[in-house]
């Protein structure tokens, strides 16, 4: 189908509509505003609905309502907005509601700035709201993946009845690249969600709820959720394996950093350094097994993780590698994007010291 040269944030909106998103509720924030603006422009053209909520808190709760009513629904924001949405995300997880949430990360903490950062990893991947829950987290690194992973987010959210976050950064959101858009999904053939409350006789006895007063009952509910997360970990891990076959150095990063890292891998390979990249496309479920496998390989000397943060994803790499090989971290913060040459220097320094 049609190829368009388009911003990542706009690719999210078009992908969402192709995936059958029926409603959008959101609040403006840089650098995610193009998503709200695009949703406001395109959704009404195809008979769907856009509403600017009075707050981030309200927007996610509007999603809770629409998802409870059986619709495909989404919202988008950036770090400060996600902090506010955490209340609603916990409720969506507790009531098992499929909501798609886009986080176009910016610099923090506090008001920070509007430059791209990756400091939201912990608040999204590790939770951030209260309770024992997880959300599926997808991490695009191109405009094409902004479309593809947004579409996938709707499928996974429905399949597992869980909030699903597309975690990206200001760079990927603002960048323009060609995107091949697929055909629109056929909404009319989608199975009616038999658990939702549509406001009809058929679904009248359904209940959307996260309260279980009896401790034993709440524990059982939590176990049900944990079992779901286990299934997600079993079935939904996605990653990109780049030149890992003979790699002695394994580099990793997600979002814009993975693009810079790929440039670094190409540069080092030209110089004969055996380096490869493992890029997680799903942050939960994290590609633990793949990291563990690589850690077991005698060829692999060390891991190098780069993030635009103080080191958040690196902890998941460490947990996966289990001290079998050294895991080094190099981070930039405040909106500074590392360069290909900067990462090359860091890796070569480590190569020397690690022998």
Partner 1 sequence: MAKDILSTPKSFYKEFFRKPDADKTNTHYCPGCGHGVIHKLLAEAIEDFGIADRTIIISPVGCSVFAYYYFDTGNVQVAHGRAPAVATGLKRANPNSIVISYQGDGDLAAIGGNNILQAANRGENITVIFVNNAIYGMTGGQMAPTTLIGQKTTTTPYGRAAANEGYPIRICELLSALSGPVYLARGAITDPATIMKTRLAIRKAIKAQMDYKGFSLVEILSPCPSGWRMTPVEAKKWVKEQMVKIFPLGTFKDETKEREPIAYEKREYTKEEIKQALGLDKEAPHFSHSMDDVKPIWRNPKIKISGFGGQGVLLLGNTLAEAGMEQGYHVSWIPSYGPEMRGGTANCHVQISTSEIASPVVDHPSILVAMNLPSLDRFEDDVVPGGLIIYNTSLVTRAPKRTDIESIPIPATDIADKLGSLKVANMVVLGAIIEKTGIVTEEAAISALNTVVKHKKFIPLNIEAIKSGREYVRNL
Residues of span 114-173 touching partner 1 by CB under 8 A: 115-116, 170-171
Q: Indicate the residue among 232 and 265 with the shorter CB distance to partner 1.
A: 265
* Residues forming a β-bridge with 3: 180
Pick from 102, 87, 94, 98: which is nearest to 29 by CA? 102
Q: Is 111 in the site for partner 1 (CB under 8 A)?
A: no
Q: CA angle 111-113-119, nearest 5°?
A: 80
- Report, in Å, the least distance between residue 267 CB and partner 1: 9
For residue 117, how many C-alpha atoms fall within 13 Å in the half-sphere facing its CB? 25
| 189 interacts with partner 1 by CB under 8 A | no
Nearer to partner 1 (CB atom), residue 30 or residue 315: 30
Furthest-apart CA pair in the chain: how many Å?
71
> Minimum Å distance from CB 329 to partner 1?
19
Q: Which stretch binds partner 1 (CB under 8 A): 65-73, 153-161, 221-229, 268-276?
A: 65-73
Instruction: Judge contact between 47 and 4, C-beta under 8 A.
Output: no
Q: Least Å distance between CB 206 and partner 1?
A: 7
Residue 288 Cβ, how far from partner 1 at the closest point, in Å?
A: 26
Pairwise CA distance, residues 135 & 355, whole Å: 40
**Minimum distance, C-beta of residue 313 to partner 1, in the bound complex (Å):** 19
How far apart, in whole angstroms, are the C-alpha atoms of residue 173 and residue 141? 9
**Each residue of 275-311: b (16+ CB within 10 Å) or e?**
bbbbbbbbbbbbbbebbeebbeeeebbbbbbbbbbeb
Q: 2 or 355: whose CB is closer to partner 1?
A: 2
- Which of 161, 259, 279, 328 forms a contact with partner 1 (CB under 8 A)? 259
Q: Which of residues 79-108 bind partner 1 (CB under 8 A)?
A: 87-88, 91, 95
Q: Does 220 bind partner 1 (CB under 8 A)?
A: no
Q: How far is the CB of 3 from partner 1 (least distance, A)?
A: 5
> Minimum Å distance from CB 279 to partner 1?
12
Under the criterion CB under 8 A, does residue 176 sit at the interface with partner 1? yes
As a whole number of angstroms, the distance between CA 14 and CA 348 comes to 41
DSSP code at position 220: H
Q: How far apart are CA 114 and CA 31, in angstroms?
A: 6
Residue from 109, 191, 214, 245 touching partner 1 (CB under 8 A): that is 214
Q: Which is nearer to partner 1, 45 or 191 (CB)?
A: 45
Instruction: Give the span between the Cα atoms of 295 and 287, in whole angstroms.
Output: 13
The nearest distance, CB 321 to partner 1, in angstroms, is: 25
Best CA proximity match to 157, nearest among 92, 218, 203: 92
Give the DSSP H/E element, type plus range, for residue 123.
helix 121-125
Taking CB under 8 A as the rule, does residue 254 contact partner 1?
Answer: no
Number of residues that bind partner 1 (CB under 8 A): 82
Residues 28 to 57 in contact with partner 1, rule: CB under 8 A = 42, 45-47, 49, 51, 53-55, 57
Nearest distance from C-beta of residue 58 to partner 1, angstroms = 4
Per-residue CA distances from 172 to 89, 195, 254, 349 (Å):
23, 36, 11, 29
Residue from 19, 21, 23, 167 that binds partner 1 (CB under 8 A)? 23
Q: According to the binding rule CB under 8 A, does residue 186 interact with partner 1?
A: yes
Q: Measured between alpha carbons, how far is 137 from 340 in angstroms, rounded to an integer?
A: 26
Binding mask 302-341 for partner 1 (x = CB under 8 A): ---------------------------------xxx-xxx
Nearer to partner 1, 149 or 179 (CB): 179
Give the torsion sign (CA, 292, 297, 302, 308).
Answer: negative
Beta bridge partners of 138: 166, 282
Residue 14 engages partner 1 in binding (rule: CB under 8 A): yes
Residue owning tokens 């380096």 = 275
């Amino acid at each position: 189908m049609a190829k368009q040269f388009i911003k990542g944030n706009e690719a999210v909106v078009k992908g969402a509509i192709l995936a059958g998103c029926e409603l959008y509720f959101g609040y403006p924030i840089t650098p995610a505003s193009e998503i709200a603006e695009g949703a406001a422009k395109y959704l009404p053209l195809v008979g769907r609905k856009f509403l600017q909520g009075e707050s981030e808190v309200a927007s996610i709760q509007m999603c809770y309502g629409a998802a409870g009513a059986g619709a495909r629904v989404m919202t988008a924001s950036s770090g400060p907005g996600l902090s506010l949405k955490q209340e609603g995300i916990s409720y969506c997880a507790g009531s098992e509601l499929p909501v798609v949430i886009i986080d176009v990360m910016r610099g923090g903490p506090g008001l920070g700035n509007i430059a791209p950062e990756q400091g939201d990893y912990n608040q999204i991947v590790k939770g951030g709201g209260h309770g024992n829950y997880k959300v599926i987290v997808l991490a695009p690194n191109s405009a094409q993946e902004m479309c593809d992973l947004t579409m996938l987010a709707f499928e996974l959210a429905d399949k597992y009845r869980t909030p699903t976050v597309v975690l990206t950064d200001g760079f990927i959101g603002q960048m323009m690249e060609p995107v091949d858009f697929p055909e629109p999904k056929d909404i009319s053939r989608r199975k009616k969600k038999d658990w939702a409350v549509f406001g009809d006789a058929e679904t009248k006895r359904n209940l959307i709820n996260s309260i279980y007063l009896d401790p034993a009952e709440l524990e059982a509910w939590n176990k049900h959720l944990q079992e779901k997360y286990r299934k997600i970990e079993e079935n939904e891990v996605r990653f990109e394996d780049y030149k890992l076959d003979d790699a002695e150095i394994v580099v990793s990063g997600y979002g814009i950093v993975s693009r810079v890292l790929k440039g670094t891998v190409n540069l080092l390979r030209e110089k004969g350094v055996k380096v490869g990249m493992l890029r997680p496309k799903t942050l939960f479920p994290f590609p633990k097994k793949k990291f563990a496998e690589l850690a077991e390989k005698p060829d692999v000397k060390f891991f190098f993780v780069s993030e635009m943060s103080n080191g958040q994803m690196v902890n998941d790499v460490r947990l996966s590698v289990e001290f079998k090989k050294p895991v080094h971290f190099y981070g930039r913060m405040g909106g500074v994007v590392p360069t290909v040459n900067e990462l090359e220097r860091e890796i070569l320094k480590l190569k020397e010291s690690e022998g």
